[in-house]
Amino acid sequence: MSSKIPVGILGATGVVGQRFIQMLERHPWFEVAWLAASDRSEGKSYAEAARWRLKTPIPTAVAAMRVSPAIPDGAPRVIFAALDAGIAAELEPRFAHAGCAVVSNSSALRMQQDVPLVIPEVNPDHIKLIDGQSWRKKSGGYVVTNPNCSAIGLVLALAPLQQRFGLETVMAVTMQAVSGAGYPGVASLDILGNVIPYIAKEEEKMEEETRKLLGQMNGTKVVSATFAMSAQCNRVAVEDGHTESVSIRLNRKAKPEEMIAAWNSFRAEPQELELPSAPKDPVVYFGAPDRPQPRFDIDLGAGMTTSVGRLRPCGVLDWKFTVLSHNTIRGAAGAAVLNAELLKAKGYLG
Ligand SMILES: NC(=O)c1ccc[n+]([C@@H]2O[C@H](COP(=O)([O-])OP(=O)(O)OC[C@H]3O[C@@H](n4cnc5c(N)ncnc54)[C@H](OP(=O)(O)O)[C@@H]3O)[C@@H](O)[C@H]2O)c1
Nearest Cα residue to atom 32 of ligand 1? 38
Q: Which residues line ligand 1 (CB under 6 A)?
A: 11-17, 37-38, 40-41, 70, 82-85, 87-88, 105-106, 149, 179-180, 182-183, 327-328, 331-332
Residue 93 is predicted with a pLDDT of 98
CA 24 vs. chain centroid, Å, equals 15
Say if residues 251 and 165 touch (Cβ distance below 8 Å).
yes
Nearest Cα residue to atom 31 of ligand 1? 38
CA of 104 to the centre of ligand 1 (A): 11
Report the alpha-carbon distance of residue 76 to residue 60 in Å, rounded: 20
CA of 183 to the centre of ligand 1 (A): 8
CA of 179 to the centre of ligand 1 (A): 11
In terms of residues, how long is the chain?
350
Active-site pick, 100, 126, 149, 233: 149
Nearest Cα residue to atom 21 of ligand 1? 14
Residue 101 is predicted with a pLDDT of 98
Atom of ligand 1 nearest to the CA of 180: 3
- Whether the ω angle into residue 57 lies within 30 degrees of 0, i.e. cis, is no
Is the pTM value of this prediction over 0.75?
Answer: yes
Residue 250 burial (CB count, 10 A):
19
Task: Put the strands of the sheet holding 78-81 in their side by side order.
Answer: 30-36, 5-10, 78-81, 101-104, 142-145
Residue 2 is predicted with a pLDDT of 78
Mean pLDDT by 10 residues, the chain (350 residues): 91 97 98 98 98 96 98 98 97 98 97 98 98 97 98 98 98 97 95 97 98 95 98 98 98 98 98 98 98 98 98 98 98 98 96
- Tell me the CA distances in angstroms from 210 to 20, 163, 203, 225, one per residue in order: 24, 14, 11, 8
Residue 1 is predicted with a pLDDT of 57
Active site residue 242: yes
SS (H, E, C) the chain: CCCCEEEEEECCCCHHHHHHHHHHCCCCCEEEEEEECCCCCCCCEHHHHCCCCCCCCCCHHHHCCECECCCCCCCCCEEEECCCHHHHHHHHHHHHHCCCEEEECCCCCCCCCCCCECCCCCCHHHHHHHHHCHHHHHHCCEEEECCCHHHHHHHHHHHHHHHHHCEEEEEEEEEECHHHHCCCCCCHHHHCCCEECCCCCHHHHHHHHHHHHCCEEECCEEECCCCEEEEEEEEECCCCCEEEEEEEEECCCCCHHHHHHHHHCCCCHHHHCCCCCCCCCCEEEECCCCCCCHHHHCCHHHHCCEEEEEEEECCCCCEEEEEEECCCHHHHHHHHHHHHHHHHHCCCCC
Nearest Cα residue to atom 20 of ligand 1? 182
